[in-house]
Homo-oligomer: A and B are copies of this chain.
């Protein structure tokens, strides 16, 4: 069945599924939730679930990516150019995302988080690309280096936010300011520190 995404029934069914899943995630571990549980709570047929989602893992992915997009949108990041402030806001956005997930789910396993990791970083990269690319005069020339830079920055952002989530020794804002500078300078700072100590 190829469903029309604008059909009110499709919209409602998907929403009922999401609502039920969110409710269950507030009560239980992801792995313990069955498709049957979801569809029964959503008052839809199990076959209808499979008409819209491949399995519960795909539902998780879609939903968590939506959460992330909403978090990004809520942080109102200036998309006219890529600056140090953009970097700071992105870091804080990923921190918000982690906090949202922690708050919305009773028990979120690291396996679930790692299922989402790549997807979130990809989304981060796409977001950054959307800001940065139009700012470059000759996109065809710098595209190779830009792609790599975006990947580096995306993974860096995710990494510091994840570290913060495990060990909140700084405030979100402090983390953002400090980390943004470090990400900006890349390995330079590390190289300087190391050479000063005579390691290199």
Contacts and interface: CB of A to CB of B under 8 A. Distances in A.
A134 to B, nearest CB: 38
Interface residues of A, number: 6
Contacts of A198: none
Nearest to A16: B12
A192 B12 CA distance: 66
Contact of A8 (B11, B12, B45): B45
Interface string A1-37: 0000000100110000000000000000000000000
A194 interface: no
A44 interface: yes
Contacts of A45: 8
Interface string A27-60: 0000000000000000111000000000000000
Contacts of A44: 8
Nearest to A44: B8
Contacts of A43: 8, 11-12
5 contacts: A8-B43, A8-B44, A8-B45, A11-B43, A12-B43
